[in-house]
Chains A and B, each alone.
Chain A
Amino acid sequence: MLGEGILKGLAQTAKNFAGSYVSEERLTTVQYPEERLPVAEASRVFPFLVFDGSEWLGGMRCVACQICEKECPPKCIYIEKSKDKKPDYVGKQQFYPVRFDIDISVCMSCQICVEVCPFEAIKMDTAFELATDDRFGGLLLDRQQLAKSNEYYHSIHPTEASEVDARLDEEKVKAEAKAKAAAPAAAAKPPAPAGGKD
């Protein structure tokens, strides 16, 4: 019968329309600014720089090795290395960035900088409401704007942050053991052969 297919289709729409009053499954719209969906844990928007402790510059993990600057596909990271050094998380003297800018109008959120960084210093943020009326300066984030605490990192990517912390602690323990082993070895003139092990 002509029109049968149309009626069948209309039955489906009617089912969905009526169903939207009773079933979550069929009412999929979210009224965005008032209602919000939870952000997925793995979600990524733009990178930020992690710092330990409470002081953003002192605790910054980045050592200005410039690997991320080199590997970033659209080349939107600008780094200037410091002349002097400061201690990093294991207490080793390292350089730090005197300038670290990311142009988020160019950044394509690909996460390659995060993957290549050997120091767990740069991670992906989940904040997405970044609209600004300043097209140039407002979208060029400097190192202070990029610096976020490790606690913040834990709050947005809990699983990943715990893994990273475990890895860093392990390294720290290793470094301390090595330092301890090296200290008596240096004190006692003939180096103990067991001192090599940690």
Chain B
Amino acid sequence: MSTFETIPESTSQTSAEHLAERLSKSITAAAEADRREGWNRPPVFLPESENGVLEVAMGPHHPSTHGVFRMDVSVDGERVIRLKPVFGYLHRNHEKIAEGTAYLASMPYTDRLDYFCSLTNNWAYALAVEKLAGIQVPERAEYIRVILAELTRIQNHAAAVGFLLQDMGASGTPLMYAFREREKILDLFEQLTGSRMMCNYMRFGGCRVDVTDAWLDRARRLVAGMPQFVDEFEALLTTNEILMVRCQGIGALKPDLAVNAGVTGPMLRATGVNYDLRKVDHYGIYDRFKFRIPLGDHGDVYDRYMVRILEIREAVHILEQALKEIPAGPIMDPKTKLRGFRPKPGEAYGRIEAPKGELGFYLISDGGSNPYRYRVRPPSMINLTVLEDMCLGHNVADVVVILGSVDIVLGEVDR
């Protein structure tokens, strides 16, 4: 429910002027500070019309905000002149809980960060602990991880594009097509891990259960059918005039601002910056696969959409290679115990290219059974920090689309 703070007719002169003055002062001051520090900010927007400025709280229970997230938007007519993201409504104290429990017990909690991509969350956390304790992962387990991570990427991007279209008013059809495919992938996850979304599958030094040949065959069939789905999806959307009008040139992000703000993932690559941790870090076994990194040009909503679609296609390529090459062998490091796990004192930062961007876990161990410090670097929250820069000067309806194109999950933003 949005709350509207309208200004009563009788006193409109004084309060509206007061509000406008206060706003323009704060905006000018912020822009001045940015200029001093050499930041490249979009032009300053001052209220123009004489009707005054309206402050609207979009959220926390607005259907377009993908969860409980609030944007305090100041609008001049339809134009957004200021936007303040407010988060924390879904704060669940993840980091502090993790500091009080055993290393293993945090694994199911990581599922609940970005609940669309529990398997990549598991991997990032497992990677950090493996770095901390110096654990080697067997080859087969690495392949399983890559397969699951790329399946996760496909279903996340399909759903993200579906939701973006939903935000644009294409209610239902694209989202349902995306969910139809996503459902097949979730069925695969359920068959292997026991759960559709809260998989809790990876363990330090490997994976929990082995994949069967029947599962691999099913995955191969699914992957073989995936390009057909993407073609259909693209035929439905890519050249659709309404989508192009609503997306092209909307919410453009400059590469230097994106880099300075720490934006990662498809949002950064849509601005043309070639940065993908799978290529930069070579974590896991990604250096064995041939794949390309799709890049955008303008950094607008349409580029983000396009980058996601192309990443689905590249993920299919990785999956084809991984499903062909997967070797037999053990899936767990035999030296790592499940219970009584105590890494030596030290610190480690494990990061992977999650579907939404760089997901990192920073751990400090003091030799005990639970981490001394546990910190998550959530990609969706950091990508959200540039929301105002992307939205200024656009219409309110575009704000919804721009937010949709960031692809946030509030479980990860607020933790």
Contacts and interface: CB of A to CB of B under 8 A. Distances in A.
B200 interface: yes
Interface in A10-69: 11-13, 16, 28, 40-44, 67
Interface string B86-110: 0000000000000001101111110
Nearest to B188: A40
A42 B241 contact: no
B187 A116 contact: no
Nearest to A13: B173
A94 interface: no
A109 B198 contact: yes
A71 B241 contact: no
Interface in B218-265: 232, 235-244
Given A12-B235, A71-B339, A44 B194 contact: yes
B195 A109 contact: yes
Interface residues of A, number: 29
A108 interface: yes
A110 B102 contact: no
Interface stretch (A1-9, A81-89, A139-147, A183-191): A1-9
B236 A13 contact: yes
Nearest to A5: B239
Nearest to A73: B105
B105 A71 contact: yes
B17 interface: no
A196 B281 CA distance: 54
B193 A110 contact: no
Nearest to B108: A110
Nearest to B203: A115
A112 interface: yes
A122 interface: no
Contact of B339 (A16, A110, A111, A116): A116
Given A6-B241, A44-B195, A73-B109, A112 B236 contact: no
Interface of B: 101-102, 104-109, 112, 173, 177, 180, 183, 187, 190-195, 198, 200, 208-209, 232, 235-244, 338-339
20 contacts: A5-B240, A5-B244, A8-B235, A8-B240, A9-B240, A12-B232, A13-B236, A16-B177, A28-B180, A42-B190, A44-B195, A71-B102, A71-B339, A73-B106, A73-B108, A109-B195, A110-B107, A112-B104, A115-B338, A116-B338
The 9 closest A-B pairs by CB, nearest first: A5-B239, A110-B108, A73-B105, A44-B194, A5-B240, A42-B194, A9-B236, A12-B236, A40-B190
